[in-house]
Amino acid sequence: MYVKNDCLIHAQAMFNGMKNRNIFAWNSLISGYSFKGHFEDAVKLFNRMQEEGIKPDLVTLNGLVSGYSMWGNNEEALAVIHQIKSLGLTPNVISWTALISGSSQKENYRESLEFFIQMQQEGVKPNSATISCILRACAGLSLLQKGKEIHCLSIKNGFIEDVFVATALIDMYSKSGDLKNALEVFRKLQNKTLASWNCMIMGFAIYGLGKEAILLYDEMREAGIQPDAITFTALLSGCKQSSLIDEGWKFFDTMSADF
C-alpha cells in the first residue's frame, strides 16, 4: 500500500519491522525504489536480500530493469538483463519491453529497434505494450516500411483492437506521411480515446490539411470527447499551415475562454 502511494519511508519502516520477509515484500520495496529513481537504495536492498538468503526471481530483476529504463539508464538496464541470464533465468517480454519503452521515451529510437530485434532473436514474443513502444520508435525515425511490418505483426497477433496499439499506428503513419493508412486505422478503431483523435488531427495539421483537421475536431466534439491543450495546438498549427486565419483566432478564443 505504502509503495503504491509513493510513501517509501513508511514502506521501509514497515518492511524493517517485519519478522518474516517473503520475496513479495522484497520485490515490492525494490521496485518502489527503482521506479522512483532511488537506485542506490534499490541495489542495497537487492544485495541485502541475497545476504539474508532470499534468492531474487525474475520479478525482482524486472523491477530493476523497468526502473533503470524509465529513467533513461539503458546501460544499467541492459546489465541487469545480462545478470538475469547469469542467474540461470530467462528475460521475458516484460524485461525486453521495459528496455524498448525506456529507449523510446528518451527518443533513443534506434536502440529500441535493436532491442526489439534482439528480443525476437531470443525467441521472446512481443505483447501489445511492446508493439506500442516499437511503433513509437518507427514514428520517431519515420520508418514507414518497418512500421508497416509491425502493423502486419499486430494483425497476426490480434493486437490491432488494442487502443494503444491502434493509436501508435495512427501516430506512426501520420509522422511517416501516410495519412491514408492513418485514417483507415483511425476509422476502424471502435473505442477512440482523446489521444487517438489528437494523433489524427495532428496528422492533418502537419501536412497543412487545416480544413480536414477542423472537420475531425467537430466530429470529436459531437462524439462527446473534450479537447485538451494538444488538440488546440494541433488545430492552431493546421490553421496556420492552411492560412485559415479567422478559424485560428476562433479556436484561440475558445481555448482562452473555455479551457
Look at residue 3 in the predicted model and tell me its pLDDT.
54
Residue 22 lies in a domain: yes
- When pLDDT is cut at 50, 70 and 90, the band that residue 251 belongs to is confident
Are both 200 and 118 inside the same structural domain?
A: no
Verify that 202 and 186 share a domain, yes or no: no
Same domain, 88 and 98: yes
Q: Write out the residue range of the structural domain in which residue 84 sits.
A: 8-191
When divided into structural domains, the chain yields a total of: 2
Judge whether residue 21 has pLDDT over 60. Answer: yes
pLDDT confidence of residue 1 = 46
- Judge if 182 and 196 occupy the same domain: no
Identity of the residue numbered 144:
L
Q: Does residue 117 belong to any structural domain of this protein?
A: yes
146 and 244 together in one domain: no
Same domain, 134 and 227: no
Q: Which CATH number do you get for residue 150?
A: 1.25.40.10
Domain C-terminal end among 160, 191, 222: 191
In a domain, 164, yes or no: yes
- Is residue 3 in a domain? no
* 138, 161, 191 - which closes a domain: 191
Q: Do 12 and 137 sit in the same domain of this protein? A: yes
Query: Does residue 4 have a pLDDT over 70?
Result: no
55 and 140 part of one domain: yes
2 belongs to a structural domain: no
Q: For the whole model, what pTM was predicted?
A: 0.85
Closest CA to 181 of 217, 150, 137: 150
Residue 5 — very low, low, confident or very high, per pLDDT cuts 50/70/90?
A: very low
206 belongs to a structural domain:
yes
78 plus 133 within the same structural domain: yes
For the stretch 62-115, pLDDT in tens is: 999 999 988 988 889 999 999 999 999 999 999 999 999 988 888 889 999 999
Residue 1 lies in a domain: no
Of 135, 169, 191, the residue at which a domain comes to its end is: 191
Are residue 196 and residue 172 in the same domain, yes or no? no
